[in-house]
Copies of this chain bind each other. A is one copy, B any other.
Amino acid sequence: MSVIYDRVALIGLGLIAGSMAHAMREGGLAREIVGFARSAETRDIAREIGLCDRIEDSAEAAVAGADLVVLAVPVGAMGDVAAAISPHLKTGATITDVGSVKQSVIDAVGPHIPQGVHFIPGHPLAGTEHSGPRSGFATLFRNRWWLLTPLPDSDPEAVARLSGLVRAMGAKTDTMEAGHHDLVLAVTSHAPHLIAYTMVGVADHLRRVTDEEVIQYSAAGFRDFTRIAASDPTMWRDVFLHNRDATLDILGRFTEELFMLQRAIRMEDGQQLFDYFTRTRAIRRGIIEAGQDTEAPDFGRVAMTPKP
């Protein structure tokens, strides 16, 4: 046991909050974990599986007396939740969030933070395509980055304490400016997700190629896209709406680049294609060397049982 916060309140009980609950328990990092989710069904499941020490029926009750409050709701819901809990936050408490976009969360939540409460926005770069209160697991954050985007006036001690919790859950932590975060994530996450959703949507629309064929023969590359495109629709709708400019910027660059490669195919410029594909291969090597993905072929994909 090395308690970092006496009482932690988790607002929203999906994959990230659930994994935090498991990880904090495993490490004995909080004396009490209190949870709240807007949906009664989610609260019932959380109670049934004992996800937290206590599940409250209102966010206000959940945050009362908490030393750390974690907003783990879709980015578009952060402002309303902050407005509701604001009068109930304990002086000296820290409030953080786990949203995939940072500047818009700061704009929405910041104005509701009372004097004497530390607001330290954050974003764990961890997740799976699963969602909901049953999807969390203690090792989700292990060896993953958890970025913090403190405000210019954030209290260094409060930041250090939150970093300590994050590291104790297995994550690596770094701080950066919110706008820069949003641009980096537009490249590494938001644009790739929209592109994957789009490709899966194209396959869905194609009537000449029956659904069954697309699914049966998906292992040729397409299935990787479907994993990403199976992510939580509400969360991702909000990400795109709230990191609009950076995402559209990257998508614009993507389209230019795609047109150039389409043109190379049309003009049969094999050398251009070969050179391009050789450069991209090197990036994969960098990611493996940085310990950000497995070297095992095909992600060391779990073998599947043949189905009839």
A interface, CB within 8 angstroms of B:
76, 100, 125-130, 135, 137, 139, 142-145, 147, 172, 183-185, 187-206, 208-209, 211, 213-231, 233-234, 236-238, 240-241, 244, 247-248, 250-251, 253-255, 257-258, 261-262, 265-266, 268, 270, 273-274, 276-281, 283-287, 289-294, 296-307
Contact = CB atoms under 8 A, between A and B. Distances in A.
Nearest to A254: B202
A198 B257 contact: yes
A200 B219 CA distance: 20
A277 B233 contact: yes
A227 B284 contact: yes
A195 B229 CA distance: 14
B233 A278 contact: yes
A188 B258 contact: no
Given A198-B261, A231-B277, 13 more contacts: A137-B297, A143-B306, A187-B202, A195-B258, A205-B257, A215-B292, A218-B287, A226-B287, A251-B258, A289-B307, A299-B299, A299-B301, A300-B301
Contacts of A276: 197, 201
17 contacts: A125-B219, A143-B303, A143-B306, A185-B217, A189-B217, A201-B276, A202-B253, A224-B227, A224-B228, A226-B287, A230-B280, A230-B283, A231-B281, A244-B265, A248-B262, A296-B302, A299-B300
A248 B220 contact: no
B280 A220 contact: no
A104 to B, nearest CB: 12
A268 B274 CA distance: 38
A286 B227 CA distance: 11
Given A224-B224, A301-B300, A237 B273 contact: yes
A119 to B, nearest CB: 23
For A129, A222, A241, the residue with the greatest tally of chain B CB atoms inside 10 Å of its CB is A222
B221 A188 contact: yes
